[in-house]
């Protein structure tokens, strides 16, 4: 709950679900110079985790459905709801963008519902004549800034709290390990000398096996942290570039029309080809810009029954401009059995997009030659498994990479990350499947086979 008073001074409080105040703003936490009419901002944030729903009368999926309908922050002006604020797709506080930038503990329009209420007695907020909300004057901008900064403040408190909890958990688990170690030593001391040596050795082996497992996990974690920051940077880029990219397209169309008019017959010989080139580039920029946005859709990460063929086709459609640009012909032959797997659309998309971009990259290497580029994508069902094949007629996998392909950081590309196939392997493992590679497959180039259990079939 946040308040903005008549003097532009803001304060906020966060309550837990029993209504007890958890945090209250102190001096300097929020600005005291907002140039906006006084307002109240209320937000209910739902912790959509299974364990926060045990023993409650509503189920998590009911609440999710309800939030899909009503989620987001609405704006009430003199008791009346002002559209489009808080309408689906109209995230005026950029909650979803901010969450994409740093997903930790932030509410999104799918996990919260709220309202900003303003009386605006002196009429500082001005409705647009076409009734599509308020004019973006200083009063409106500062009203929004007040709500956004209150959210930021809450986020900071939640992060602090989680940090403190983590530090405490780390301290406790170190303490537990030390205690276990001490009691093991005490027990060993009670043994016969011969048995003491044998047990000490066995205990050391257990400890070092755990240590190396932990090191491996830490390495994996580093890989995923790098990827996470790349991902968030890309999502921000995609949001920011979307507008300029479509402006570019409209502007160049306008230039084309005017140049045709002004130059008449001379247009074709003087400017046409350059304008065509700009138009083509603008289209590509716009398409590529929206590509990550398509992948980021939250619904795609939900684990359900996924129609494998449909997810494959969707990924191909998403990558279409990229494949066309690389002049790759895709030969798609999917099973009529309509296989479904347990997982999320994002899983299949991660697998397919990594394999497809790898094939395109292989075509662009020096060893690839000048043949027509073909990628075959296949799916087939046999004995409760769906096999997805991605094959190309590129140069094939280099022998020195054959065994280590799936490890993080292994790449033959100087601009590569070597993470693509690691992600493929991990994602396939999450789906209880296996991934295999053939250096020179049926089309002469690399062949990748993803082998997944069909949902509903016995293992
Ligand atoms: N379709 C392919 N054809 C030839 N080599 C491939 C193919 N796919 C993957 N590779 C090899 O596997 C390596 C690792 O791939 P990956 O993990 O996706 O990392 P990156 O794409 O960053 O190089 C590539 O650098 C390449 O040498
Ligand atoms: Mg790759």
User: For residue range 367-407, what is the model confidence (pLDDT) as tens digits?
Assistant: 777 789 999 999 999 999 999 999 999 999 998 888 789 98
Shortest-distance Cα residue to atom 25 of ligand 1: 411
Ligand 1 atom with the smallest distance to the CA of 357 is 21
The first and second tokens of residue 376, run together, are: 């075959």
**Helices and strands, number each (H, E), in the chain:** 9, 14
Report the pLDDT value the prediction gives residue 40, as an integer from 0 to 100. 98
% of the chain exceeding 90 in pLDDT: 60
Q: Read off the pLDDT of residues 46-94 as tens digits, 9 standing for 90 and up.
A: 887 777 777 778 888 888 888 888 889 999 999 999 999 998 878 899 8
Do residues 286 and 253 make contact, with C-beta atoms less than 8 angstroms apart?
no
The first and second tokens of residue 180, run together, are: 């276990």
Q: Is the confidence at residue 255, as pLDDT, over 60? A: yes
Report the pLDDT value the prediction gives residue 459, as an integer from 0 to 100. 43
With a 6 Å cutoff on the Cβ, whether 107 touches ligand 1 is: no
Q: Is the confidence at residue 410, as pLDDT, over 90? A: no
Beta strands in 30-109 (DSSP E): 39-45, 72-77, 80-82
Give the chain's mean pLDDT.
89
Whose atoms come closest to the Cα of 328: which ligand? 1
Q: Read off the pLDDT of residues 137-154 as tens digits, 9 standing for 90 and up.
A: 999 999 999 999 999 999
Handedness of CA 220, 225, 230, 234 (dihedral sign): positive
Shortest-distance Cα residue to atom 14 of ligand 1: 411
Band (pLDDT 50/70/90 cuts) for residue 244 is confident
Band (pLDDT 50/70/90 cuts) for residue 100 is low
With a 6 Å cutoff on the Cβ, whether 411 touches ligand 1 is: yes
- Hey, what long-range contacts does 242-247 have (CB within 8 A, 24 or more apart)? 242/286, 242/289, 242/290, 242/293, 245/282, 245/285, 245/286, 245/289, 246/286
With a 6 Å cutoff on the Cβ, whether 359 touches ligand 1 is: yes
Report the pLDDT value the prediction gives residue 103, as an integer from 0 to 100. 63
Dist. CA 31–CA 27, nearest whole Å? 9
Kindly report the three-state secondary structure assignment for every residue of 263-287: HHHHHHHHCHHHHHHHHHHHHHHHH
Shortest-distance Cα residue to atom 18 of ligand 1: 420
Measure Cα distances from 13 to 111, 124, 157, 307, 425 in Å. 19, 26, 11, 45, 45
pTM over 0.95: no
């Amino acid at each position: 709950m946040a308040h903005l008073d008549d003097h532009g001074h803001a304060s906020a409080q966060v309550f837990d679900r029993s209504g007890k105040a958890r945090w209250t703003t102190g001096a300097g936490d929020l600005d005291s110079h907002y140039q906006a009419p006084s307002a109240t901002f209320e937000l209910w944030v739902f912790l959509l985790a299974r364990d926060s729903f045990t023993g409650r009368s509503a189920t998590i999926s009911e609440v999710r459905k309800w939030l899909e309908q009503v989620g987001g922050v609405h704006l009430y002006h003199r008791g009346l709801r002002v559209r489009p604020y808080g309408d689906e797709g109209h995230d005026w506080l950029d909650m979803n963008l901010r969450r994409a930038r740093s997903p930790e503990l932030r509410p999104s329009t799918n996990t919260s519902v709220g309202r900003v209420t303003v009386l605006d007695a002196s009429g500082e907020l001005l409705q647009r004549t076409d009734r599509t909300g308020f004019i973006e004057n200083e009063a409106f901008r500062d009203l929004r800034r007040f709500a956004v900064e209150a959210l930021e403040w809450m986020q900071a408190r939640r992060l602090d709290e989680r940090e403190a909890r983590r530090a405490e958990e780390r301290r406790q688990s170190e303490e537990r390990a030390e205690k276990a170690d001490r009691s093991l030593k005490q027990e060993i001391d009670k043994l016969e000398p011969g048995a003491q040596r044998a047990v000490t050795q066995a205990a050391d082996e257990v400890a070092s096996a755990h240590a190396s497992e932990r090191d491996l996990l830490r390495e994996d974690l580093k890989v995923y942290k790098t990827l996470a920051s790349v991902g968030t940077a890309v999502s921000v880029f995609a949001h920011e570039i979307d507008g300029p990219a479509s402006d570019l397209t409209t502007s160049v169309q306008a230039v084309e029309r005017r140049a045709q008019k002004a130059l008449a017959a001379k247009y074709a010989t003087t400017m046409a080809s350059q304008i065509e080139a700009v138009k083509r580039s603008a289209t590509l920029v716009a398409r590529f810009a929206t590509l990550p946005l398509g992948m980021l859709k939250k619904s795609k990460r939900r684990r359900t029954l996924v129609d494998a063929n449909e997810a494959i086709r969707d990924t191909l459609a998403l990558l279409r401009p990229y494949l066309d640009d690389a002049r790759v012909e895709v030969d798609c032959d999917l099973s009529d059995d309509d296989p479904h797997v347990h997982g999320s659309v994002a899983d299949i998309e991660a697998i397919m997009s990594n394999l497809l971009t790898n094939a395109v990259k292989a075509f662009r290497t020096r060893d690839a030659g000048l043949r027509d580029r073909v990628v075959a994508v296949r799916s087939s069902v046999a004995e409760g498994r769906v096999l997805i094949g991605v094959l190309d007629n590129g140069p094939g996998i280099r022998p020195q990479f054959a065994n280590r392909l799936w490890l993080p950081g292994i790449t033959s590309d100087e601009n590569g990350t070597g993470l693509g196939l690691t992600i493929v392997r991990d994602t396939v493992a999450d789906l209880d499947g296996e991934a295999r590679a053939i250096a020179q497959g049926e089309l002469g180039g690399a062949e990748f086979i993803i082998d997944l259990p069909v949902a509903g079939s016995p293992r």
